[in-house]
Chain A
Amino acid sequence: MIKDLFSKSKKKKYATIPSEQSRHEVPEGIMTKCPKCKKIMYTKELLKNLKVCMHCGFHHPMKSSERIEILFDPESFTELDKDMVTVNPLDFPGYEEKIKSDAEKSGINEAVVTGTGKINGHAVTAAIMDASFRMGSMGSVVGEKITRAVEKADELGVPFVIFTASGGARMQEGVLSLMQMAKTSVALKRFGENGGLYIVVMTHPTTGGVSASFASMGDYNLAEPGALIGFAGRRIIEQTIREELPEDFQTSEFLLKHGQLDGVVHRHELKGTLENILDIHSPGGEL
């Protein structure tokens, strides 16, 4: 009311102190807060920057759809096995519900998207894991889709590129999850023997059974900066050895230092690096 503006209210005005919770909350969608430097930025600008924090360089997690968008030549990506869905082989209580709710939240039906596409004109088969679905964990569907994608690359005679993002094996599928490590490996071994080129890009996080199988077996093993990569969980190791671990333990940079990676590549340079490797491996150019 206009007249309220003129009325001399005797009411004392108090400055409102935002609650502890609301102070940390950022409006969903429009703004994004960097979990590392805590700075708040426009989501749109962050997306334009390939989800790399403009202030501290933190690589925010990317959804599989976003990776596909920035990696492949327009309209070149064709998804494989998109109708393959998870069942509950151990009759694990509550597993179906978890799969359903993760599918609704993430917009994908399992933790990996596979397909064929072109990276700057180079035909490849690719698998993009997505940590927004069950932490990217590997059960039967993830193992089978990756295996089929490798077989597809073998059949087409094109390189196989994978973006890993996984907490490891899917507990709810028990030993069947463990065996997916072997399944993907038999396919990669055959692909390798046939001369196939295999490039791994490890993203946050790449741990457990995924780290201990196909993620470590690339002809070229790359990683995004600051990704957590390792076999055993940090807490388990601390409990086992009863000593504190260095802060950079199991990061991309730690692995590079210990000879486990070919390179740590900033997301802005990633496509260029992949193009370069693919280019060097492409036929042609006689001496």
Chain B
Amino acid sequence: MVGELEFEKPIVELKSKIEDLRKLTQEADVDLSSEIEKLEGRLAKLQTEVYNNMQPWDRVQVARHPARPTTLDYISHIFTDFFECHGDRYFGDDAAIVGGIAKFQGIPVTVIGHQRGKDTKDNIKRNFGMPHPEGNRKALRLMKQAEKFNRPIVCFIDTKGAYPGKAAEERGQSEAIARNIYEMSGLKVPIVCIVIGEGGSGGALALGVGDHILMLENSTYSVISPEGAAALLWKDASLAKRAAETMKITAPDLKELGVIDGIIREVSGGAHKDVTEQAGFIEEELRKAFEGLQDLSSDELVERRYQKFKKIGEYSFSHQYTGVK
């Protein structure tokens, strides 16, 4: 039982109780199998109950789970013949974003994604999945290459945000993000974006302007982290749980706001419980997404993308205001 989360506590407790009874059966030579059976029935019910009623803050915890599958995990499960391409050709190679060419069900694609580390050492190398400008520029280079060779693009979004650092600012973090968003708007190949963990702000959007945008059931997508929102709006970072609810950052919230096209279901309890099964769910949705886009011409794709983003936002009209004076 490693890495169980706060909201899973009742499940963990019940599981350990069952385990205790099992041990007792073996050691003390008493038959408790009917007890165990009863408890296992309760456990199944409890699991459904807990995992079907996850609150926004629970989902944030699952999205941030250290064992949550990363871009490279999904690449190895969903794609074949992956060849990783490095470097932005201007400054360096940013390990916080990985990308390359591969095959998806036999079709050549370009696949790009934010890459978190698996442990502390890896996280330092990958800068916790928070890209510098050169990471975003590498991504754009690969997208342009995909366009040249008429390959569809898959983007996995999994970042707390673009890195807030001195060097990042010096090298034009803003410009790198802005250019990705701008250029993705006009790419003449299908782009499918999947938020697999945290989709944090501009850093996420730099890989997020696509034709079909999906989110894993327990991923988040937001303008600011719940902690950041709480600190900014209520001057108290400990109100993050409340911010997670108010800011509407979960997959169901974004579906309702009309920002994403669909939700990819997760393995019960979260993607980290079974990477292979989860990769299967993603593969299925990815195939459907490409099928929906394959008959569109490049002009139709760009026009559709235009309309898709143009309609996001809510406003109204009032005739009281008389204009700037």
Query: What class of interface size applies to chain B in its complex with A?
Result: 35 or more
Which B residues have a C-beta under 8 Å from some C-beta of A?
Answer: 162-166, 168-175, 177-179, 181-183, 185-186, 201-202, 205, 208-209, 221-224, 229, 232-233, 246-249, 254, 257, 259, 305-306, 309-310, 312-319, 321-325
Roughly how many angstroms separate A181 CA and B310 CA in the complex, as a whole number?
A: 11
With A230-B174, A231-B177 as contacts: A186 and B309 at CB distance below 8 Å: yes
Closest A residue to B232 by beta carbon equals A171
Closest A residue to B310 by beta carbon equals A183
Residues of the A chain whose Cβ atoms lie less than 8 Å from the Cβ of B249 = 174-175
Asked if residues B259 and A176 are in contact (CB atoms below 8 Å), the reply is yes
Of the candidates A89, A188, A189, A243, the one whose C-beta lies within 8 Å of that of B314 is A89
With A230-B169, A258-B170, A258-B172 as contacts: A181 and B324 at CB distance below 8 Å: no
Asked if residues A249 and B166 are in contact (CB atoms below 8 Å), the reply is yes
Of the candidates A140, A144, A182, the one whose C-beta lies within 8 Å of that of B205 is A182
Chain B proximity of A206: nearest CB distance (Å): 9
Residues of the B chain whose Cβ atoms lie less than 8 Å from the Cβ of A190 = 185-186, 306
With A79-B323, A84-B317, A211-B174 as contacts: A250 and B169 at CB distance below 8 Å: yes
Roughly how many angstroms separate A232 CA and B179 CA in the complex, as a whole number?
A: 17
Top-8 shortest CB links A-B: A232-B164, A140-B313, A216-B178, A189-B185, A89-B314, A211-B174, A212-B177, A231-B173
Closest B residue to A221 by beta carbon equals B175
Roughly how many angstroms separate A196 CA and B233 CA in the complex, as a whole number?
A: 39
Of the candidates A83, A113, A192, A237, the one whose C-beta lies within 8 Å of that of B164 is A237
Q: A179: CB under 8 A from chain B?
A: yes
Closest B residue to A172 by beta carbon equals B233
Chain B proximity of A279: nearest CB distance (Å): 26
14 additional A-B pairs beyond A174-B257, A232-B164, beta carbons within 8 Å, are A83-B321, A89-B257, A176-B312, A176-B314, A179-B205, A186-B309, A189-B183, A189-B185, A214-B178, A216-B172, A216-B174, A231-B202, A232-B162, A260-B172
Roughly how many angstroms separate A161 CA and B222 CA in the complex, as a whole number?
A: 29
Asked if residues A174 and B232 are in contact (CB atoms below 8 Å), the reply is no
Chain A proximity of B210: nearest CB distance (Å): 10
Can you sample 11 A-B contacts with CB below 8 Å?
A82-B322, A140-B314, A178-B201, A180-B313, A189-B186, A190-B306, A217-B178, A231-B177, A232-B168, A232-B173, A249-B169
Q: A213: CB under 8 A from chain B?
A: yes
Residues of the A chain whose Cβ atoms lie less than 8 Å from the Cβ of B178 = 181, 185, 211-217
Of the candidates A92, A182, A193, A240, the one whose C-beta lies within 8 Å of that of B309 is A182
Asked if residues A186 and B310 are in contact (CB atoms below 8 Å), the reply is yes
Chain B proximity of A1: nearest CB distance (Å): 47
Of the candidates A83, A174, A232, the one whose C-beta lies within 8 Å of that of B223 is A174
Roughly how many angstroms separate A192 CA and B247 CA in the complex, as a whole number?
A: 34
Chain A 208-227: CB-based contact to B (< 8 A → 1; otherwise 0): 11011111110000000000
Roughly how many angstroms separate A141 CA and B312 CA in the complex, as a whole number?
A: 11
Chain B proximity of A136: nearest CB distance (Å): 14
Asked if residues A87 and B315 are in contact (CB atoms below 8 Å), the reply is yes
Chain B proximity of A192: nearest CB distance (Å): 8
Asked if residues A178 and B325 are in contact (CB atoms below 8 Å), the reply is no
